[in-house]
Amino acid sequence: MHDPKLSHLTTADPALAALIEGETQRQHDKLRMIASENYVSAAVLEATGTVLTNKYSEGYPGKRYYEGQQFVDQIETLTIERAKALFGTDHANVQTYSGSPANLAIYLAFLSPGDTVMTMSLAHGGHLTHGSPVSITGKWFNPVHYGVERETGRVDMNKVRELALAERPKMIICGGTAIPRTIDFPAFAEIAQEVGAILMADIAHIAGLIVGGAHPSPVGFADVITTTTHKTLRGPRGAMAMAKAEYATVVDKAVFPGLQGGPHNHTTAGIAVALHEAAQPSFKDYAAQVVANSKALAAALVEHGFDLVSGGTDNHLILSDLTNKGIGGKPAAKALDAAGIELNFNGVPFDTRRPFDPSGIRLGTAALTTRGLTEQHMPQVAAWMDQAIEAAVKEDEAAYARIAGEVKDLLDGFPMPGHAL
Ligand code: DSN
């Protein structure tokens, strides 16, 4: 059952309440390994479900276009101060609606249409908003891409430098959505400085690891940093844009009025709670455990013959090319879902298959670590994954229900925030 209880919703709209209860139970019973997902605390859930959703607040604290900001100004200021303290940045904008608008705001702040931006290619682990041809960032700007090496699955910073010197981008973006290895922020900063480019770090996936001390920070290296708040940072769906002091005004103006209208104050409050939680000593333990679990799972997967991009992981994320398992990423992801293991199909670098039917799967350990699973459980997780994929190859659909039952039995011993028995 959902926690907090859906008592009003159950009376007002029982059909919707039943669907949300179904999703609550699904999240409880499944091994959730989509690398960009997590479980927020009940306190974050409470903050996002408040009367703050009633309020318009275009502008920034102390400079709004609507009256009645006596409390919202304090909430947004508290969130900004928490973000600055936690990440150690000069400036934080906590109004960006999500990762894509946050990134677009940074394009608006620093680029004009047609300008060159250099980013990790989507096919090698970047993000749609890093200049993919189907994104506004690829249609209105001139993206050039770096990627990983075929042999190592890692970025060669010498090649990044050569490309930057040849293309002279106005902005360089580091970070992405399917990068299992540590990002070398000092090397990117050196290159950006050499070519006179703005350096933007998109830390959406690793923000929680950074504040938890399990991944190096881009602060002091990147001019501007964007992040979503709902992945390893374990907050509500939202985003932030942080910047060096000299870029504070241009970033704020790009977010509002450049790109957005009123901020979502209920989300801001949820972000404030998540930042407070991430500032507690226990969050360091969480971040370390996420990485320990990921490394243990990667090692166990390798023992089962999984081919991992770059051979392993430094963070929460694992990318596997399933070609040697004789199955595409999509049918594998569907089989795993039927077996109670939730992840997503994903392209791998140099993939020869199409993006909607790629060769790989992507998984992460942020959510299962929140549930309390540790390294000792990872060999079992890898074994279940192997069994489900083998069942898919052999079309042994009966195996899925058995595995899903075993997964549920394990998870019944690990409480889920937002779910009460
Ligand atoms: N969709 C997110 C992810 O899964 O990584 C990024 O936007």
Chain segment 371-412, per-residue pLDDT in tens: 999 999 999 999 999 999 999 999 999 999 999 999 999 999
**Which residue has the least CA distance to atom 5 on ligand 1?**
177
Tell me if 366 sits within 8 A of 56, measured CB to CB: no
Going from the N-terminus, what domains does the chain have, and what CATH number goes with each? 48-278 (3.40.640.10), 282-411 (3.90.1150.10)
| pLDDT at 328 > cutoff 90 | yes
**Which residue has the least CA distance to atom 1 on ligand 1?**
36
Instruction: Note the pLDDT of residue 236.
Output: 98
111 pLDDT tier (thresholds 50, 70, 90): very high
Instruction: Note the pLDDT of residue 378.
Output: 98
99 pLDDT tier (thresholds 50, 70, 90): very high
**Which residue has the least CA distance to atom 2 on ligand 1?**
36
Q: Is the CB of 177 under 6 A from ligand 1?
A: yes
Instruction: Note the pLDDT of residue 306.
Output: 98
Return the structure tokens found at 135: 């994104």
Phi-psi domain of 355 (left: phi exceeds 0; alpha: psi -120 through 50; beta: other): alpha
Q: Which atom of ligand 1 is nearest to the CA of 37?
A: 4
Q: Is the CB of 36 under 6 A from ligand 1?
A: yes
Spacing, Cα 398 to ligand 1 middle (Å):
32
Give ∠ CA 179-180-185 in degrees, rounded to 5: 65
Q: Is the peptide bond before 4 cis (omega within 30 degrees of 0)?
A: yes
Spacing, Cα 36 to ligand 1 middle (Å):
6
Instruction: Note the pLDDT of residue 249.
Output: 98
Spacing, Cα 71 to ligand 1 middle (Å):
32
Q: Is the CB of 370 under 6 A from ligand 1?
A: no
Tell me if 105 sits within 8 A of 95, measured CB to CB: no
- Residue 364: strand, helix, or coil: strand
Q: Which atom of ligand 1 is nearest to the CA of 178?
A: 5
Q: Is the CB of 103 under 6 A from ligand 1?
A: no
List active site positions: 56, 58, 202, 228, 231, 237
Average pLDDT over residues 211-226: 98
List C-alpha distances in Å: 380 to 31, 39, 362, 384.
12, 21, 18, 6
Q: Where are the beta strands (DSSP E) in 309-359?
A: 317-321, 341-342, 344-346
Chain segment 139-188, per-residue pLDDT in tens: 999 999 999 999 999 999 999 999 999 999 999 999 999 999 999 999 99
Q: Please tell me the total number of residues recorded for the chain in this structure.
A: 421
Calpha distance 376→364 (Å, rounded): 16
| pLDDT at 133 > cutoff 90 | yes
Q: Is the CB of 126 under 6 A from ligand 1?
A: no
Calpha distance 359→142 (Å, rounded): 28
Instruction: Note the pLDDT of residue 261.
Output: 98
Instruction: Note the pLDDT of residue 318.
Output: 98
| pLDDT at 78 > cutoff 90 | yes
Calpha distance 69→66 (Å, rounded): 8
Spacing, Cα 78 to ligand 1 middle (Å):
27
Chain segment 40-67, per-residue pLDDT in tens: 999 999 999 999 999 999 999 999 999 9
Q: Which atom of ligand 1 is nearest to the CA of 204?
A: 6
Instruction: Note the pLDDT of residue 421.
Output: 86
